[in-house]
Chains A and B, each alone.
Chain A
């Protein structure tokens, strides 16, 4: 199975900061990469699909980029409501796997 290495595992940033999370695949996955946000005690929410497409209704401060094995998720200006754990997820021939998650906190 394809392994997804997500980093950092946690970060602390100030409101208004630019936040970047990376996800590396163990082999080429083209753009088959999605990003989710999970707030404590809640189900995950789809933010970005196919590496760079913003899901309907998701604020434009969230963005994604990358292809092949290296992907980046960015929050352009961190807001208090963005406190959550973020996961990348790849899909390869019906073998879906998630990264380990990045917990984002406010400094």
Chain B
């Protein structure tokens, strides 16, 4: 079945780095745009980044621009989020999510992973 599985979360000190991965299965990964969305403990949802199906364009929330980099390897059906210069306010569950519209989609999330927790603390 269609599935997304995140990994790579953990505890990191402020200023540190972490790379999240999201393994996709059950659909043609290379045909869909992919997002990262995060949720701080007890808080609402915040869109983080988007990458087009072919990696040609990437978009970021202002809160992470210049610090986070989204990428994908379509040969490995895997999405990544490289997080640098981490801050306490980046502490959250990070979800990868698939856009529902093939190739051109960039505006919704129809399949979500289970999430991976990132804690930024000294």
Contact = CB atoms under 8 A, between A and B. Distances in A.
Interface of A: 1, 32, 34, 36, 38, 43-46, 49, 55, 87, 89, 91, 94-101
Nearest to A34: B108
A46 B114 contact: no
B49 to A, nearest CB: 10
B24 to A, nearest CB: 14
B36 to A, nearest CB: 11
Contact of A44 (B62, B100, B106, B112): B112
10 contacts: A34-B107, A36-B45, A43-B95, A43-B112, A44-B109, A46-B110, A55-B110, A89-B47, A91-B107, A97-B47
A76 B65 CA distance: 41
A84 B108 CA distance: 19
B106 A94 contact: yes
A107 to B, nearest CB: 23
B9 interface: no
Contacts of B113: 43
